[in-house]
Chain A
């Protein structure tokens, strides 16, 4: 066990994440090239920029529609394990299971944790639940001690060392994990009670190269305010349709932050979580695909708490955007190797998902402002930067791209049995504005503070029982 862990660590060391200097250097080179272009050939540079952006928008929109369409078909390969099949596995045949629950500075959710973990239908003897707390996080340690967790949960104190990130805590926890399947939950998560059994059954059914099974994530508080409704619609679209679409297309799947169930043996082989990456889950998902393994999506939902506070939401989202871009940069350090492993289509998709998502969210702000100035005054500069061969595609992309996303939200609201999201779906452009702000913040932070972990505060909601849930 010790040697395995050691091996994994050397693996991680070999795959050194980009240092701040690396980022700065590549950023500087790119910025320099653009600057020189802008000074020597200002107008062609600008036109080129709008043209490339337009093509990027169009490609991303079409690809997203394609994935959505694939995911929307009833026979999209979401793995469904019936209750009966899940319960039919005799306890004796269930494997050892480890649940990692990293938490930092969140004493208020310890109570939730016990309820959720006790509810899991899995033999206690085979279930190891590790609550990973930073050694200096006294409030949570105190709360955990007061809550008498010992029957259900083992508290593991992570030595205080940089980087202070969730993946580092998980890597530490992995040293003590005994399960052949390992999963991560956030402390406030409410996983569906049969989820672990379903995963075991799914692993048995799926091909041997399946490394990970991702459960669907949804929120228990969509009705709390407009933001949680938006967030719910966002998640419902992603987990119910886009992820199955990705899965069907054999593309790398950026894992969701929690409820991804991994084979321990695969983690030992390809390395666990990159402690410097702030979306370690996305990074792991790509690494799984790159190493020839597959990820499946299972029809079992974990309820999370949707962020109900705009500032808190922007912090969380900016971390995701930063992490996506970071993941893209990390894997693109050896583009040829990645290309050989993924093939052309998956490579493009990897790029549009991980680099495209944050960059487009940033560019949105730029183009909204350009559109606004155009509508207000039709300045000559905008006119010159958009010659007809850019103007018309850009206009089409603006209108149809926005409409397509809105329409996909509406379809999602219908197909996830959540018609109450109608108004939120129609008002989604405001949400996109917040996304854009978050993306700008995330991209800026990638340059100045790449591994800083924007903490998301939980426990802002008051879960009620009659809230509609995003399930299909």
Chain B
């Protein structure tokens, strides 16, 4: 058994806090200084805010379209919003995503440590991962990617450990990591679906003694240990959703779910070669060096009889493959962030260029534990590791450039105007970037306008499909009647009788189709549906946000 040395606690803490601070500063600058906010991050803040400060505060208001962990993590933050509404208004969710992404960085550091890499390699690779612009951006902007990467990196690290420790603790941690990852993003199902059979095969082949029956039993048990936490997460989430909303899988069935969003906004792929090219392009934009390092890594792993690299490829690769498959099948969008796992994969493959040394700190070595060479890691990196780190550095530059390209990077390209502002530039690309950054500024002004009217509680009816941006910006969240309120349908049917003075809506095109007001009153804009009259029409300054329409509700008398 190896000696129980873990990476120095002080060093791990130092990495964590320094990186957290870095992402936080970036997040604060992006939000408060440039007003550059991400819709998906903001809509989760809105959900979290509605749990405590909506007209009808209750836990189920977090919503059931997306898995809940990111929103749950934001709950403590939104608790402070009555005293500091800027927290929600500017989507300062970096406060949540920064420590999560820093956690992912720590996981990469620990993978290097488990591998026994040279100090130089460990520091350089960890730093290159932490400073990758995509990692910095998603550590700063409050999106669910940070938490997802943390969970997945943790699961993969423990899986890598398991291949040589055979420690049940590692097996269990992998399962729990995957379960938590599922509660953050659905993509984790792909990882679980790939990891469980891998574990099954490894155990079945490794249990070299005994009959095939006992081998299969042992392998099955290991696979069950990995999948059980994921199944629990899956079951609990589906059951909760079913108990509260009557539908187990709102992601697919709801008018607000992913399936509906795709149908309404277009942008899904039509398959074929173009889609495949875009998918591969996305992966390579984030980790171009994978093209060289994966074949080398696989070859080395084969020669060394080393399962570490296989574990990393299966863990991260499955999520990449799933994102690609989803896009090819027209099930999802070609967002660059769906391929973010290419970055940790690149880091881990680079680390695995160094030969494996003893893993430290095994709590309970399993029967099939592999004894590794205990030679202490030398201070200097091997030539191969140095080449790997250099390729990783080049990779980072390419990713940075790709992120500024609107075709490859539809959600991040506006960063160009933040990094390299140029007031004299009047090109359409520049205009597009500025519009993109200005997204949600109209909603903030609309919220200010409504706040200034000092309307009574529960007097503005809207849907949160687009209204989330108003809901996070308002100082008076209980003015609004939103779909998570249990009496929403009743109020929607008879707004005036329930004290509604204004109705906020958007045109019934694109995702506006799913807006509850448009579904209930399809001719609202044309006729007022005999309940309201158009008071204001507010064009949006932003990119992809619709024209807002403020209707005054006719009194019932």
Contact = CB atoms under 8 A, between A and B. Distances in A.
Contact of B168 (A403, A406, A415): A415
Contacts of A49: none
Q: Which of B224, B228, B236, B365 has the most CB of A within 10 A?
A: B224
Nearest to A72: B364
B168 A399 contact: no
Contacts of B221: 410, 413-414, 419, 422
Interface in B207-237: 214, 217-218, 220-222, 224-225, 228-229, 232, 236
B221 to A, nearest CB: 4
A407 B171 CA distance: 12
Interface string B164-188: 0000110110000000000000000
Contact of B236 (A399, A411, A419): A399
Interface residues of A, number: 19
B33 interface: no
A74 B170 CA distance: 13
B182 to A, nearest CB: 15
A73 B169 CA distance: 9
Nearest to A403: B232
B364 A74 contact: yes
B218 A419 contact: yes
Contacts of B172: 407, 411
A74 B363 contact: yes
B304 interface: no
A6 interface: no
Contact of B365 (A74, A411, A414, A419): A74
Contacts of B225: 407, 410-411, 414
A72 B232 contact: no
Contacts of B224: 410, 422, 426
B362 interface: yes
A89 interface: no
Contact of A415 (B58, B228, B364): B364
Nearest to B217: A419
A383 B59 CA distance: 17
Nearest to A392: B59
B232 A399 contact: yes
A420 interface: yes
B1 interface: yes
A417 interface: yes
B11 interface: no
A195 B224 CA distance: 35
Interface in A345-390: 388
Interface residues of B, number: 24
B371 to A, nearest CB: 15
Nearest to A395: B240
Contacts of B217: 419-420, 422
B214 to A, nearest CB: 7
Contacts of B229: 407
Contacts of A74: 1, 362-365
Contacts of A411: 168, 172, 225
Q: Is the interface of B mostly helix, strand, loop or mixed?
A: helix
Interface in A394-444: 399, 403, 406-407, 410-411, 413-415, 417, 419-420, 422, 426
A73 B218 contact: no
Interface in A312-360: none
A419 B228 contact: no
Contacts of B379: none
A414 B168 contact: yes
Contacts of B363: 72-74
Given A72-B168, A74-B363, A414 B222 contact: yes
Contacts of A388: 58-59
B367 interface: yes
Contacts of A410: 221, 224-225, 228
Interface in A250-281: none
Contact of A72 (B169, B362, B365): B169
Interface string B57-77: 011000000000000000000
Interface in B426-483: none
B231 to A, nearest CB: 9
A73 B364 contact: yes
A392 B59 CA distance: 10
A315 B277 CA distance: 69
Interface string A64-91: 0000000011100000000000000000
Contacts of B59: 388, 392
Nearest to B216: A419
Interface in B30-70: 58-59
Contacts of B236: 399
Q: Which of A392, A406, A407, A426 has the most CB of B within 10 A?
A: A407
Nearest to A375: B243
Contacts of B220: 419, 422
A37 B125 CA distance: 65
Contact of A407 (B169, B214, B228, B365): B228
B363 to A, nearest CB: 5
A414 B214 CA distance: 12
Nearest to B225: A410
A411 to B, nearest CB: 6
Q: Which of B171, B217, B222 has the most CB of A within 10 A?
A: B217
A406 B227 CA distance: 13
Contacts of B168: 72, 411, 414-415
Nearest to A402: B232
Interface of B: 1, 58-59, 168-169, 171-172, 214, 217-218, 220-222, 224-225, 228-229, 232, 236, 362-365, 367
12 contacts: A73-B363, A74-B363, A74-B364, A388-B58, A399-B232, A399-B236, A407-B172, A411-B225, A414-B171, A420-B214, A422-B217, A426-B224
Interface of A: 72-74, 388, 392, 399, 403, 406-407, 410-411, 413-415, 417, 419-420, 422, 426
Given A407-B229, A419-B221, A422-B217, 15 more contacts: A72-B168, A72-B169, A73-B363, A73-B364, A74-B362, A74-B365, A388-B59, A399-B236, A411-B172, A414-B171, A414-B218, A414-B222, A417-B367, A420-B214, A422-B221
Of all A-B residue pairs in the complex, the 7 with the closest CB atoms, nearest first, are A419-B217, A74-B364, A419-B218, A419-B221, A422-B221, A73-B363, A403-B232
